Amino acid sequence: MPEEQKTDATPDNLEAMKEKFKPKKKKAALSAEMLSDAKSYDDKLVLVKYLTEKEKGRVVLMVKNMLKGAGAPKKK
């Protein structure tokens, strides 16, 4: 019979594996209400900066969709 391979099951390795497979915390969502509730231009600017830092994928998708719509001819 082939030799059995032992797995290194130390508490440190088990904790590292638990952390690896632990579900990630959901990102805080920026709602449209937050933008409409912002009173000043500076407040809105801060929210948009936050959005671009934290939600880069959403911002890229939004800009892509805006550019697609700008290039399409308008229907009457």
pLDDT digits (tens, 9 = 90+) for 41-67: 998 888 888 888 888 888 899 889 989
Report residue 37's pLDDT band, with 50, 70 and 90 as the boundaries: confident
| Confidence category of residue 14, pLDDT binned at 50, 70, 90 | confident
Domains identified in the chain, total number: 1
Assign 3-state DSSP to the chain and report helix, strand, coil percentages, each to 5: 60, 0, 40
Q: Does residue 29 lie in a domain region?
A: no
Q: Is the pTM of this model over 0.95?
A: no
Q: Residue 47, SS3?
A: helix
Residue 62: which domain range?
A: 35-76
d(CA 55, CA 53): 6
| 50 close to 58: Cβ distance less than 8 angstroms | no
Q: Are 44 and 38 in contact (CB under 8 A)?
A: yes
Q: Is residue 54 situated within a structural domain?
A: yes
Domain for residue 62, yes or no? yes
pLDDT of amino acid 55: 85
Is residue 28 situated within a structural domain? no
